[in-house]
Structure 1
Protein backbone atom coordinates (compact mmCIF):
# COMPACT_ATOMS: atom_id res chain seq x y z
CA UNK A 1 0.00 0.00 0.00
CA UNK A 2 1.36 3.45 -0.85
CA UNK A 3 1.71 6.09 1.82
CA UNK A 4 -0.10 9.22 0.71
CA UNK A 5 1.37 12.61 1.54
CA UNK A 6 -0.61 14.80 3.90
CA UNK A 7 -3.32 16.57 1.95
CA UNK A 8 -3.58 13.95 -0.81
CA UNK A 9 -7.35 13.78 -1.40
CA UNK A 10 -9.00 10.38 -1.24
CA UNK A 11 -10.88 9.59 -4.42
CA UNK A 12 -14.09 7.74 -4.97
CA UNK A 13 -14.32 4.68 -7.20
CA UNK A 14 -12.66 5.02 -10.59
CA UNK A 15 -14.41 3.12 -13.37
CA UNK A 16 -12.40 0.36 -15.00
CA UNK A 17 -13.13 1.94 -18.39
CA UNK A 18 -11.33 5.09 -17.20
CA UNK A 19 -8.38 3.11 -15.87
CA UNK A 20 -8.19 1.16 -19.14
CA UNK A 21 -8.25 4.34 -21.25
CA UNK A 22 -5.39 5.78 -19.19
CA UNK A 23 -3.39 2.55 -19.35
CA UNK A 24 -3.85 2.41 -23.14
CA UNK A 25 -2.23 5.83 -23.49
CA UNK A 26 0.49 5.18 -20.91
CA UNK A 27 1.52 1.90 -22.53
CA UNK A 28 1.49 3.41 -26.02
CA UNK A 29 3.67 6.35 -24.97
CA UNK A 30 6.00 4.03 -23.04
CA UNK A 31 6.34 1.73 -26.08
CA UNK A 32 6.94 4.65 -28.45
CA UNK A 33 9.66 6.03 -26.16
CA UNK A 34 11.87 2.93 -26.34
CA UNK A 35 15.50 2.98 -27.51
CA UNK A 36 16.11 4.62 -30.87
CA UNK A 37 19.13 2.39 -31.58
CA UNK A 38 17.46 -0.96 -30.94
CA UNK A 39 13.78 -0.35 -31.72
CA UNK A 40 14.00 2.60 -34.13
CA UNK A 41 11.50 4.46 -31.98
CA UNK A 42 11.95 7.73 -30.06
CA UNK A 43 14.73 6.90 -27.61
CA UNK A 44 13.20 8.71 -24.64
CA UNK A 45 14.30 5.85 -22.34
CA UNK A 46 17.09 3.30 -22.96
CA UNK A 47 14.95 0.16 -23.15
CA UNK A 48 14.21 -2.60 -25.65
CA UNK A 49 11.64 -4.67 -23.77
CA UNK A 50 8.70 -5.21 -26.11
CA UNK A 51 9.84 -6.22 -29.60
CA UNK A 52 10.20 -9.94 -30.34
CA UNK A 53 13.57 -9.19 -31.96
CA UNK A 54 14.84 -7.69 -28.70
CA UNK A 55 13.94 -7.95 -25.04
CA UNK A 56 10.47 -9.20 -25.88
CA UNK A 57 12.00 -12.53 -26.91
CA UNK A 58 13.56 -13.00 -23.46
CA UNK A 59 10.28 -12.07 -21.80
CA UNK A 60 8.45 -14.63 -23.95
CA UNK A 61 10.85 -17.36 -22.85
CA UNK A 62 10.79 -16.38 -19.18
CA UNK A 63 7.06 -15.64 -18.95
CA UNK A 64 5.30 -17.52 -21.76
CA UNK A 65 1.77 -16.81 -20.50
CA UNK A 66 2.11 -13.17 -19.47
CA UNK A 67 5.05 -11.93 -21.54
CA UNK A 68 3.08 -9.36 -23.58
CA UNK A 69 1.79 -7.67 -20.44
CA UNK A 70 5.08 -8.11 -18.58
CA UNK A 71 7.02 -6.37 -21.37
CA UNK A 72 4.60 -3.45 -21.44
CA UNK A 73 4.56 -3.26 -17.65
CA UNK A 74 8.38 -3.08 -17.63
CA UNK A 75 8.60 -0.36 -20.27
CA UNK A 76 5.83 1.59 -18.50
CA UNK A 77 7.96 1.45 -15.35
CA UNK A 78 10.98 2.76 -17.29
CA UNK A 79 8.85 5.62 -18.59
CA UNK A 80 7.47 6.31 -15.11
CA UNK A 81 11.00 6.55 -13.71
CA UNK A 82 12.11 8.93 -16.47
CA UNK A 83 9.02 11.04 -15.78
CA UNK A 84 9.73 10.96 -12.04
CA UNK A 85 13.34 12.02 -12.58
CA UNK A 86 12.13 15.03 -14.55
CA UNK A 87 9.58 15.98 -11.89
CA UNK A 88 12.19 15.79 -9.13
CA UNK A 89 13.96 18.76 -10.70
CA UNK A 90 10.82 20.90 -10.42
CA UNK A 91 9.58 22.96 -7.50
CA UNK A 92 6.93 21.11 -5.47
CA UNK A 93 6.94 17.94 -7.61
CA UNK A 94 4.04 16.41 -5.64
CA UNK A 95 1.82 19.14 -7.10
CA UNK A 96 2.67 18.14 -10.67
CA UNK A 97 0.41 15.78 -12.63
CA UNK A 98 1.78 14.09 -15.74
CA UNK A 99 0.95 11.13 -17.96
CA UNK A 100 2.85 8.84 -15.60
CA UNK A 101 2.03 10.55 -12.29
CA UNK A 102 -1.64 11.23 -11.56
CA UNK A 103 -1.45 11.24 -7.79
CA UNK A 104 -0.53 8.39 -5.49
CA UNK A 105 -3.98 6.84 -5.17
CA UNK A 106 -4.73 6.91 -8.89
CA UNK A 107 -1.31 5.46 -9.70
CA UNK A 108 -1.90 2.62 -7.26
CA UNK A 109 -5.25 1.81 -8.86
CA UNK A 110 -3.68 1.83 -12.31
CA UNK A 111 -1.02 -0.63 -11.12
CA UNK A 112 -3.73 -2.87 -9.67
CA UNK A 113 -5.71 -2.75 -12.92
CA UNK A 114 -2.61 -3.59 -14.94
CA UNK A 115 -2.00 -6.58 -12.66
CA UNK A 116 -5.59 -7.73 -13.27
CA UNK A 117 -5.03 -7.61 -17.03
CA UNK A 118 -1.76 -9.51 -16.63
CA UNK A 119 -3.56 -12.32 -14.79
CA UNK A 120 -6.49 -12.42 -17.23
CA UNK A 121 -4.71 -14.04 -20.15
CA UNK A 122 -6.29 -11.57 -22.60
CA UNK A 123 -3.88 -9.96 -25.06
CA UNK A 124 -3.21 -6.22 -24.55
CA UNK A 125 -4.63 -5.33 -27.97
CA UNK A 126 -7.87 -7.12 -27.07
CA UNK A 127 -8.16 -5.72 -23.55
CA UNK A 128 -7.32 -2.09 -24.30
CA UNK A 129 -8.23 0.41 -27.01
CA UNK A 130 -4.62 1.14 -27.94
CA UNK A 131 -4.29 4.16 -30.25
CA UNK A 132 -1.53 2.40 -32.22
CA UNK A 133 -0.72 -1.20 -33.08
CA UNK A 134 2.25 -2.01 -30.88
CA UNK A 135 3.45 -4.80 -33.17
CA UNK A 136 3.46 -2.59 -36.27
CA UNK A 137 6.42 -0.59 -37.62
CA UNK A 138 6.80 2.72 -35.79
CA UNK A 139 6.79 6.15 -37.41
CA UNK A 140 6.90 9.44 -35.50
CA UNK A 141 4.18 10.84 -37.78
CA UNK A 142 1.75 8.01 -36.98
CA UNK A 143 2.50 8.43 -33.28
CA UNK A 144 1.88 12.18 -33.46
CA UNK A 145 -1.41 11.65 -35.32
CA UNK A 146 -2.54 9.11 -32.72
CA UNK A 147 -1.84 11.62 -29.96
CA UNK A 148 -3.49 14.49 -31.81
CA UNK A 149 -6.60 12.35 -32.22
CA UNK A 150 -6.96 12.42 -28.42
CA UNK A 151 -8.29 15.97 -28.54
CA UNK A 152 -7.63 19.61 -29.28
CA UNK A 153 -3.93 20.51 -29.08
CA UNK A 154 -3.44 22.12 -25.66
CA UNK A 155 -1.70 25.41 -25.02
CA UNK A 156 1.45 25.14 -22.94
CA UNK A 157 4.55 27.03 -21.86
CA UNK A 158 7.98 25.46 -22.21
CA UNK A 159 9.50 25.75 -18.75
CA UNK A 160 12.58 24.22 -17.10
CA UNK A 161 11.84 20.50 -16.90
CA UNK A 162 8.89 20.22 -19.25
CA UNK A 163 5.80 21.64 -20.94
CA UNK A 164 3.45 23.25 -18.43
CA UNK A 165 -0.10 23.14 -19.70
CA UNK A 166 -2.13 26.30 -19.31
CA UNK A 167 -5.30 26.33 -17.27
CA UNK A 168 -6.61 23.94 -14.66
CA UNK A 169 -6.33 20.20 -15.02
CA UNK A 170 -9.64 18.88 -16.43
CA UNK A 171 -11.88 17.16 -13.90
CA UNK A 172 -12.54 13.91 -15.80
CA UNK A 173 -9.30 12.00 -15.31
CA UNK A 174 -9.43 10.35 -18.71
CA UNK A 175 -9.79 13.74 -20.41
CA UNK A 176 -6.82 15.10 -18.46
CA UNK A 177 -4.61 12.25 -19.65
CA UNK A 178 -5.76 12.68 -23.26
CA UNK A 179 -4.79 16.36 -23.05
CA UNK A 180 -1.41 15.46 -21.53
CA UNK A 181 -0.81 12.94 -24.33
CA UNK A 182 -1.73 15.49 -27.00
CA UNK A 183 0.82 17.86 -25.43
CA UNK A 184 3.63 15.49 -26.46
CA UNK A 185 3.19 16.92 -29.97
CA UNK A 186 5.34 18.19 -31.61
CA UNK A 187 7.42 15.12 -30.76
CA UNK A 188 10.94 16.20 -29.68
CA UNK A 189 14.26 14.38 -29.32
CA UNK A 190 13.89 14.14 -25.53
CA UNK A 191 10.82 13.30 -23.46
CA UNK A 192 9.10 16.70 -23.06
CA UNK A 193 7.24 15.90 -19.79
CA UNK A 194 3.92 17.70 -20.29
CA UNK A 195 2.28 18.47 -16.96
CA UNK A 196 -0.41 20.30 -15.06
CA UNK A 197 0.13 22.00 -11.73
CA UNK A 198 -2.52 21.27 -9.12
CA UNK A 199 -3.27 23.05 -5.88
CA UNK A 200 -2.25 21.32 -2.63
Structure 2
Protein backbone atom coordinates (compact mmCIF):
# COMPACT_ATOMS: atom_id res chain seq x y z
CA UNK A 1 0.00 0.00 0.00
CA UNK A 2 1.56 3.37 -1.01
CA UNK A 3 2.35 5.89 1.68
CA UNK A 4 0.07 8.92 1.66
CA UNK A 5 2.06 12.12 1.20
CA UNK A 6 1.07 14.89 3.56
CA UNK A 7 1.10 18.50 2.38
CA UNK A 8 3.95 20.74 3.49
CA UNK A 9 1.53 23.15 5.15
CA UNK A 10 0.03 20.34 7.24
CA UNK A 11 3.47 19.06 8.25
CA UNK A 12 4.54 22.60 9.17
CA UNK A 13 1.40 23.11 11.27
CA UNK A 14 2.07 19.91 13.23
CA UNK A 15 5.77 20.75 13.63
CA UNK A 16 4.91 24.23 14.88
CA UNK A 17 2.65 22.80 17.61
CA UNK A 18 5.20 20.12 18.52
CA UNK A 19 7.92 22.75 18.82
CA UNK A 20 5.92 25.17 20.94
CA UNK A 21 4.78 22.39 23.30
CA UNK A 22 8.32 20.97 23.50
CA UNK A 23 9.68 24.46 24.25
CA UNK A 24 7.00 25.13 26.87
CA UNK A 25 7.69 21.76 28.49
CA UNK A 26 11.31 22.55 29.35
CA UNK A 27 12.18 22.63 33.03
CA UNK A 28 15.96 22.97 33.40
CA UNK A 29 15.88 26.56 32.14
CA UNK A 30 15.88 29.62 34.37
CA UNK A 31 13.15 30.47 34.98
CA UNK A 32 11.71 27.04 34.31
CA UNK A 33 8.66 26.68 32.15
CA UNK A 34 6.24 23.74 32.62
CA UNK A 35 8.98 21.32 33.73
CA UNK A 36 7.70 18.29 31.80
CA UNK A 37 11.21 17.33 30.64
CA UNK A 38 14.49 18.30 32.26
CA UNK A 39 16.03 20.22 29.38
CA UNK A 40 17.28 23.71 28.60
CA UNK A 41 18.00 23.50 24.88
CA UNK A 42 16.69 26.73 23.36
CA UNK A 43 17.41 29.65 25.68
CA UNK A 44 20.18 32.01 24.66
CA UNK A 45 22.10 31.54 27.90
CA UNK A 46 21.41 27.81 28.22
CA UNK A 47 21.57 25.06 25.64
CA UNK A 48 20.98 27.56 22.87
CA UNK A 49 24.44 29.01 23.52
CA UNK A 50 26.05 25.56 23.30
CA UNK A 51 24.29 24.82 20.01
CA UNK A 52 25.34 28.24 18.66
CA UNK A 53 29.01 27.41 19.34
CA UNK A 54 28.81 23.80 18.10
CA UNK A 55 26.61 24.37 15.04
CA UNK A 56 26.90 28.02 14.00
CA UNK A 57 24.83 27.64 10.79
CA UNK A 58 22.03 25.39 12.03
CA UNK A 59 21.98 26.03 15.79
CA UNK A 60 18.39 27.33 15.90
CA UNK A 61 17.01 24.24 14.18
CA UNK A 62 19.31 21.88 16.10
CA UNK A 63 18.05 23.14 19.45
CA UNK A 64 14.41 22.85 18.31
CA UNK A 65 15.03 19.38 16.93
CA UNK A 66 16.65 18.29 20.20
CA UNK A 67 13.92 19.64 22.48
CA UNK A 68 11.35 17.98 20.19
CA UNK A 69 13.26 14.70 20.64
CA UNK A 70 13.14 15.14 24.43
CA UNK A 71 9.34 15.47 24.21
CA UNK A 72 9.13 12.45 21.88
CA UNK A 73 11.21 10.40 24.34
CA UNK A 74 8.93 11.20 27.29
CA UNK A 75 5.87 10.55 25.13
CA UNK A 76 7.32 7.14 24.17
CA UNK A 77 8.06 6.33 27.82
CA UNK A 78 4.48 7.20 28.86
CA UNK A 79 3.03 5.21 25.97
CA UNK A 80 5.17 2.20 26.91
CA UNK A 81 3.12 1.96 30.11
CA UNK A 82 -0.03 1.40 28.06
CA UNK A 83 -1.34 -2.02 27.04
CA UNK A 84 -1.14 -1.14 23.32
CA UNK A 85 1.29 1.78 22.98
CA UNK A 86 1.24 1.79 19.17
CA UNK A 87 -2.56 1.96 19.00
CA UNK A 88 -2.81 5.60 20.03
CA UNK A 89 -2.13 8.95 18.38
CA UNK A 90 -0.47 11.73 20.40
CA UNK A 91 0.96 15.10 19.44
CA UNK A 92 4.39 13.43 19.34
CA UNK A 93 3.40 10.01 17.93
CA UNK A 94 1.52 9.68 14.65
CA UNK A 95 2.70 6.29 13.42
CA UNK A 96 5.71 5.52 11.26
CA UNK A 97 4.62 7.13 7.97
CA UNK A 98 3.59 10.49 9.41
CA UNK A 99 6.46 10.64 11.91
CA UNK A 100 8.93 9.96 9.10
CA UNK A 101 7.47 12.75 6.97
CA UNK A 102 7.63 15.14 9.94
CA UNK A 103 11.31 14.27 10.46
CA UNK A 104 12.02 14.76 6.75
CA UNK A 105 10.27 18.14 6.78
CA UNK A 106 12.24 19.27 9.82
CA UNK A 107 15.48 18.14 8.12
CA UNK A 108 14.47 20.14 5.04
CA UNK A 109 14.01 23.28 7.15
CA UNK A 110 17.32 22.67 8.88
CA UNK A 111 19.14 22.42 5.53
CA UNK A 112 17.47 25.59 4.25
CA UNK A 113 19.38 27.63 6.87
CA UNK A 114 16.41 29.96 7.23
CA UNK A 115 15.51 30.98 10.77
CA UNK A 116 12.64 29.02 12.38
CA UNK A 117 10.57 32.16 13.00
CA UNK A 118 10.88 33.05 9.28
CA UNK A 119 10.09 29.55 8.02
CA UNK A 120 7.55 28.13 10.46
CA UNK A 121 5.21 31.07 10.64
CA UNK A 122 2.61 28.77 12.24
CA UNK A 123 4.53 28.79 15.56
CA UNK A 124 1.89 30.52 17.71
CA UNK A 125 4.24 32.20 20.24
CA UNK A 126 7.71 33.73 20.14
CA UNK A 127 9.82 30.97 21.66
CA UNK A 128 12.78 33.34 21.99
CA UNK A 129 10.98 35.59 24.47
CA UNK A 130 10.34 34.84 28.15
CA UNK A 131 7.69 32.19 28.73
CA UNK A 132 4.19 33.32 29.61
CA UNK A 133 1.79 30.62 30.72
CA UNK A 134 -1.13 32.86 29.71
CA UNK A 135 0.26 33.31 26.16
CA UNK A 136 0.92 29.59 25.90
CA UNK A 137 -2.65 28.78 26.90
CA UNK A 138 -4.00 31.20 24.29
CA UNK A 139 -1.67 29.73 21.67
CA UNK A 140 -2.88 26.16 22.12
CA UNK A 141 -6.54 26.65 22.93
CA UNK A 142 -9.22 26.28 20.30
CA UNK A 143 -11.40 29.39 20.59
CA UNK A 144 -14.92 28.74 21.86
CA UNK A 145 -14.30 25.01 22.17
CA UNK A 146 -13.41 22.90 25.16
CA UNK A 147 -11.78 19.59 24.28
CA UNK A 148 -13.46 16.77 26.16
CA UNK A 149 -11.20 14.09 27.60
CA UNK A 150 -11.11 11.56 30.38
CA UNK A 151 -8.09 11.20 32.65
CA UNK A 152 -6.65 7.69 32.58
CA UNK A 153 -3.45 6.38 34.21
CA UNK A 154 -1.40 7.01 31.04
CA UNK A 155 -2.70 10.48 30.17
CA UNK A 156 -5.77 12.24 28.84
CA UNK A 157 -7.86 10.24 26.40
CA UNK A 158 -9.53 12.67 24.01
CA UNK A 159 -13.20 11.82 23.57
CA UNK A 160 -15.25 12.04 20.42
CA UNK A 161 -14.45 11.17 16.86
CA UNK A 162 -10.80 11.46 15.83
CA UNK A 163 -10.49 14.21 13.25
CA UNK A 164 -9.32 13.15 9.78
CA UNK A 165 -7.43 16.38 9.01
CA UNK A 166 -4.05 15.90 10.71
CA UNK A 167 -3.45 19.59 11.40
CA UNK A 168 -6.88 19.88 13.07
CA UNK A 169 -6.19 16.72 15.05
CA UNK A 170 -2.87 18.22 16.21
CA UNK A 171 -4.67 21.37 17.37
CA UNK A 172 -7.15 19.31 19.34
CA UNK A 173 -4.39 17.23 20.96
CA UNK A 174 -2.47 20.38 21.92
CA UNK A 175 -5.62 22.02 23.27
CA UNK A 176 -6.28 18.93 25.42
CA UNK A 177 -3.23 19.97 27.47
CA UNK A 178 -5.60 22.50 29.04
CA UNK A 179 -6.17 22.91 31.84
CA UNK A 180 -2.47 22.63 32.56
CA UNK A 181 -1.75 20.16 35.37
CA UNK A 182 -0.93 21.56 38.80
CA UNK A 183 2.14 19.35 39.12
CA UNK A 184 5.00 19.00 36.65
CA UNK A 185 3.74 15.83 34.95
CA UNK A 186 3.11 15.81 31.20
CA UNK A 187 -0.59 14.95 30.76
CA UNK A 188 -0.11 13.32 27.28
CA UNK A 189 -3.40 13.80 25.46
CA UNK A 190 -4.09 10.95 23.03
CA UNK A 191 -6.65 9.43 20.74
CA UNK A 192 -7.17 5.69 20.95
CA UNK A 193 -7.01 4.21 17.44
CA UNK A 194 -9.96 2.10 16.42
CA UNK A 195 -9.58 -1.63 16.03
CA UNK A 196 -9.80 -2.97 12.46
Which TM-score tier does this pair reach, normalised by the shorter chain? over 0.9
Q: Size of the alignment, in residue pairs?
A: 192
Kindly provide the CA deviation profile for residues 114-165 of structure 1, in whole angstroms up to 9, marking residues without a partner as x: 0000000111011111110011110211111111147722100000110000
CA distance in 1, matches of 2:191, 2:28: 28
| Aligned residue in 1 for 2:38 | 46
Q: Which runs of 5+ in 2 are unaligned?
A: none
Q: TM-score, normalised by structure 2?
A: 0.94
**1:112 aligns to what SS in structure 2?**
helix
| Aligned residue in 2 for 1:161 | 154
Q: Check 1:149–1:125 CA distance in 2 against 1; reply closer, same or farther (3 A cut).
A: farther
Q: Which runs of 5+ in 1 are unaligned?
A: 1-8
1:99 partnered with 2:94: no
Shift of 1:37: 5.2
CA distance in 1, matches of 2:156, 2:40: 26
Query: Which range moves more in the overlay, 35-44 or 133-142?
Result: 35-44
Q: TM-score, normalised by structure 1?
A: 0.92
Aligned-CA RMSD value = 1.4
Q: Runs (4+) of structure 1 moved beyond 6 Å? A: none
